[in-house]
Chains A and B, each alone.
Chain A
Amino acid sequence: MYWDEWPVAHPFLVFGALKLETPEWFETWKKLDHSPKVEEVLRNLPVRNPVIWIESQ
């Protein structure tokens, strides 16, 4: 496991912000890396496409 490039745009920030109505978490999520390219970072980030997990859009 490999964590040097963290944090990235974590799912807990965006989904937590939507469900628990916390704009501060959303603003932080917006500024983080949405498409890391390092293989080991990708390995630890199985959810990379938030829009497919949001049911109503």
Chain B
Amino acid sequence: MSRIKNPLIVPFLTLATLFAQNNPTPARVADVLRAEIMSQAAWAMEQPPATVTDFVCPRSAGGKHDFYSEGDYWWPDPDHPDGPYIQRDGMTNPDNFVAHRLAMIRFSRVVGSLASAYKITGDEKYARQAFRHIDAWFVNPATRMNPSLEYAQAIKGRATGRGIGIIDTVHLMEVTQGIRVMEKAQAADAKVVSAAKDWFRQYLKWLTSHQYGQDEMKAKNNHGTCWVMQVASFARLTGDHELMNRCRDRFQTVLLPEQMAADGSFPLELRRTKPYGYSLFNLDAMAMICQILSDDTHDLWDYQTPDGKSVRKGISFLFPSVAD
């Protein structure tokens, strides 16, 4: 420090060093999460695979390999016990079949935490265990799930499935990202990796061509955001650059312009009964779209619409209520 002639430079250097220490980095993220990752991975190492074929619902119009779920707010009609269900908004029916959704969330937690542990330790045992689950869900003919979602959010007497049920497969996102992180591991089975990618190619074909997929893509609220988010995540795994570009375009020309107000809020979510939760959920989905689809030649994080809407603005709008 004695070589510095100008005394004003010293406090400047000190401030710069302090700023660098506080700046978020990937290494600091890993440091914050390390203990939790190791604990979750220890849990995941003990879990045997369980897929849709382990749970059967007699009300499903699909087969043993089809994912099934039921509309959250639909109930038996007391005046017509055998007739179509009726809606009670905001009240979840506790007798609904949720086993497939819970199994998929569990699968997501298992693969996500094993991939995290593999990434920070390099220990092959985590990848080996993850691919047991991936094989059971996408490859093994006895236990695999069909690559479509025709029987989700069904309503007895009204619909065997609905497009809004597609939101359930957002839980396959950490599976696809886990595969990307672990596919080069020595413990990765190349045949399973290849078959899992085929599964997602088929599911993407369904999501982009079936009427339910079209309905969900066009949904004006968080459902439309989640369609883009999951399609982007699956398309990055399969290397479908054309579909990734379609998702970028949809974010820039539909999601931001039509869902965000000039102040960064989401008016369509604010109409809901619990606007705060839905707004945070929608903002997470938009941030994930930026995270998945930004690379050296595309920067969605810094993108703003001609009238100034951006993800930065959305985060700035909600941040005070989160920090509070």
Residue pair B120, A47 in contact (C-beta under 8 Å)? no
Q: Which B140-173 residues sit within 8 Å CB-CB of chain A? A: 170-171, 173
Residues of B within 8 A of A6 (CB): 276-277, 280
B102 on the A face (CB < 8 A): yes
Q: Which A12-55 residues sit within 8 Å CB-CB of chain B? A: 12-28, 30, 32, 34-35, 39, 42-54
B322 on the A face (CB < 8 A): yes
Q: How many A-B residue pairs have CB under 8 A?
A: 146
Nearest-CB distance from A16 to chain B (Å)? 5
**Chain B interface residue number, banded:** 35 or more
Query: In the bound complex, how far is the Cα of B158 from the Cα of A34, in angstroms?
Result: 39
Nearest-CB distance from B278 to chain A (Å)? 7
Q: Which B17-66 residues sit within 8 Å CB-CB of chain A? A: 19, 22-30, 32-33, 36-37, 40
B265 on the A face (CB < 8 A): no
Residue pair B116, A10 in contact (C-beta under 8 Å)? no
Residues of A within 8 A of B284 (CB): 10-12, 45, 47
In the complex, which residue of chain B has the Cβ closest to the Cβ of A42? Answer: B105
B286 on the A face (CB < 8 A): yes
Query: In the bound complex, how far is the Cα of B114 from the Cα of A51, in angstroms?
Result: 11
Residue pair A49, B174 in contact (C-beta under 8 Å)? yes
In the complex, which residue of chain B has the Cβ closest to the Cβ of A18? Answer: B24
Query: In the bound complex, how far is the Cα of B27 from the Cα of A49, in angstroms?
Result: 14
Of A21, A39, A43, A50, which one neighbours B33 at CB under 8 angstroms? A50
Residues of B within 8 A of A54 (CB): 26, 29
**Of B33, B108, B290, which is in contact with the most chain A CB atoms at under 10 Å from its CB?**
B33
Residues of B within 8 A of A52 (CB): 112, 115-116, 119, 174, 177-178, 180-181
Q: Which B257-282 residues sit within 8 Å CB-CB of chain A? A: 274, 276-278, 280-281
Query: In the bound complex, how far is the Cα of B272 from the Cα of A3, in angstroms?
Result: 12
In the complex, which residue of chain B has the Cβ closest to the Cβ of A31? Answer: B323
Nearest-CB distance from B104 to chain A (Å)? 10
In the complex, which residue of chain A has the Cβ closest to the Cβ of B226? Answer: A46
